[in-house]
Amino acid sequence: MRAAFRTGAVATLAAAALIMTGCSADTGSEGTADDPIELTYWAWAPNLDKVVDLWNDEHPEIQVTVNKQDGGDPAITKLLTAIKAGSGAPDLIQAEYQKIPTLVSSDALADLSDAGASDLADQFSDGTWDSVTLGGDAVYAIPQDTGPMMFFYRDDIFQQLGLSVPTTWDEYAAVARALHAADPSKYLGTFSANDAGWFAGLAQQAKSEWWSIDGEAWGVGIDEEPTQRVAEYWGGLVQEGVIDNKPMYTPEWNAGLNDGTQVGWLGAVWGPGVLSGNAADTAGLWKAATLPTWGGDASNGNWGGSSTAVTSQSKNVEAAVEFATWLNTDPDAVQALVTETGIYPASTDAAASSLTEAPEFFSNQADFYDVAADAAASVAPFQYGPNVNVAFSAYNDEFAKAAEAKTVDAFLAAVTAMQQVTVDDLESSGFTVAD
């Protein structure tokens, strides 16, 4: 009995302690080497802590601790939970561009324009800067990396079959047919219903406007010509059977990259990391090109890319902005980001100076980063909305059905359904939606 009672008491104390640790206080706004400002930073980029160590060594008065996250989605879910709870959010967070409107509308991000972030505009391309300002005067994050889309292909198989690199989508379709006819086990690519960001990038290239701000109302333009054109194109290739319909990032897809049944991949500038991780034995066999275009119109989309944002719970916004500015624009920091985390920097000047040598996986292509710079230069502007998460999960569900049905009609129906789900969600949340 005594023992049981004691165990119970200990458990109660432990429970109480758990609750207490939730609320620790931050003090001081001016840091010194003896009493530094402590910043926490939630991020998932690999090895980011090594880059942050450079800052910590040079700046004893502002010490940053990286708290490694599982990835973009879980980190944002955790942040939104902490915002709702009123405490527990970090000072800084790595936020993908498509998450920014959602975070802003949940009041999770601090406006950095007063802390000197507005002066950074000319360091970044207009499209990138727009995605952290949402087209207004406020600055909600400092861009870190971008993901201009690129076309990766197996150069050895292309040469063997005498195929030429497609520069337009018509040529891409022709190459896909020729390749599949030459060897029915091979595909030039796959239509992945699992990667909404990938499809958003393709729609961005076609100059879609999925969301737009129309005065005091949100416009939703998913079910319109540009996206319908993209869906019809891919639906046609899947219906013909010359493009695979299985999701990317599965063991099956990895096997395809390795054994040469997936001959091409519409990826983004961070693709070498994925390819070297999933198909290490094929190093030196791939080449990168800019994305095929719609009838020669030089335009591109982004797949991925993220920024450094300061949360609304941070008590040291100025110190956080100072750090985030250094991390994303200082030449040494950007160089370290490139070598340690393998990102493609958003800062245009820093990108040019730090990206000189092709990634190891593409050592056969000395001009890799010239191609990447071309890809980055033509990225079309794209506005994300406050319910990207809803539209993206609708993409997963609707296009999964379409990819399984393998008809153009199903692909077009999926676009309509995506529009419907997105508008319904905005309206039921109370947003004003333009007709």
Partner 1 sequence: MTATVEAAPRGGARRTSPKPAKRGPGAARRHLTPWMMLAPGIILFALFMAAPILYTFVLSFQSEVVQGLGLGSGARTREFVGFDNYLASLSDPEFLASVGRVLLYGLILVPTMLGLALLFALLLDARRTGAKGFSRVSIFLPYAVPAVISSLLWGFLYLPAVSPFYWIFERLGWDVPSMLSPGLVVFAIANIGLWGGVGFNMIVMYTSLKAVPSEIYEAARIDGASEVQIAWRIKVPIIMPALVMTALFSMIATLQVFAEPTTLRPLTNSLSTSWSPLMLVYRDAFTRDDIYSAAATSVIIALATFAISFIFLRVVQRRAFGQED
Under the rule (CB under 8 A), what is the footprint of partner 1?
Answer: 1, 4-5, 7-9, 11-12, 15, 19, 73, 77, 80, 84, 101-102, 104-107, 134, 136, 138, 193-194, 213, 216-218, 245-247, 249-252, 255-256, 261, 312, 386-387, 389-390, 392-393, 396-397, 400-401, 403-404, 425, 429-432
Between helices 408-429 and 225-240, what is the axis angle to 10°?
Answer: 140
- State the nearest-atom distance from the C-beta of 254 to partner 1, in Å: 8
Query: What distance in Å separates the CA atoms of residue 1 and residue 6, rounded to the nearest whole number?
Result: 9
Query: What distance in Å separates the CA atoms of residue 67 and residue 88, rounded to the nearest whole number?
Result: 13
Q: Which is nearer to partner 1, 140 or 286 (CB)?
A: 140
Query: What distance in Å separates the CA atoms of residue 133 and residue 9, rounded to the nearest whole number?
Result: 52
- State the nearest-atom distance from the C-beta of 166 to partner 1, in Å: 25
Q: Which structure tokens are listed for 211? A: 């969301």
Query: What distance in Å separates the CA atoms of residue 394 and residue 279, rounded to the nearest whole number?
Result: 30
Q: Which is nearer to partner 1, 68 or 406 (CB)?
A: 406
Contacts of 37 (CB under 8 A, 6+ apart): 28, 29, 30, 31, 61, 62, 63, 316, 319
Q: Which is nearer to partner 1, 30 or 427 (CB)?
A: 427
Query: What distance in Å separates the CA atoms of residue 317 and residue 408, rounded to the nearest whole number?
Result: 50
- State the nearest-atom distance from the C-beta of 24 to partner 1, in Å: 20
Q: How far is CA 152 from CA 100, 148, 215, in A?
A: 29, 13, 41
Query: What distance in Å separates the CA atoms of residue 151 and residue 166, rounded to the nearest whole number?
Result: 9
Three-class SS state of 419: helix
- State the nearest-atom distance from the C-beta of 5 to partner 1, in Å: 6
Q: Which is nearer to partner 1, 326 or 392 (CB)?
A: 392
- State the nearest-atom distance from the C-beta of 278 to partner 1, in Å: 12
- Strand residues in 230-285 grouped as ranges (E): 264-268
Q: Which is nearer to partner 1, 99 or 287 (CB)?
A: 99
Q: Which is nearer to partner 1, 138 or 373 (CB)?
A: 138
- State the nearest-atom distance from the C-beta of 203 to partner 1, in Å: 19
Q: Which is nearer to partner 1, 48 or 110 (CB)?
A: 110
Query: What distance in Å separates the CA atoms of residue 150 and residue 113, rounded to the nearest whole number?
Result: 33
- State the nearest-atom distance from the C-beta of 60 to partner 1, in Å: 34
Q: Which structure tokens are listed for 344? A: 């493609």
Q: Are 279 and 361 in contact (CB under 8 A)?
A: no
- State the nearest-atom distance from the C-beta of 97 to partner 1, in Å: 15
Q: Which residue has the tokens 């506005």?
A: 383
Contacts of 266 (CB under 8 A, 6+ apart): 149, 150, 151, 152, 189, 198, 202, 291
Q: Are 262 and 256 in contact (CB under 8 A)?
A: yes
Q: Which is nearer to partner 1, 170 or 431 (CB)?
A: 431
- State the nearest-atom distance from the C-beta of 167 to partner 1, in Å: 30
Q: Which is nearer to partner 1, 54 or 80 (CB)?
A: 80
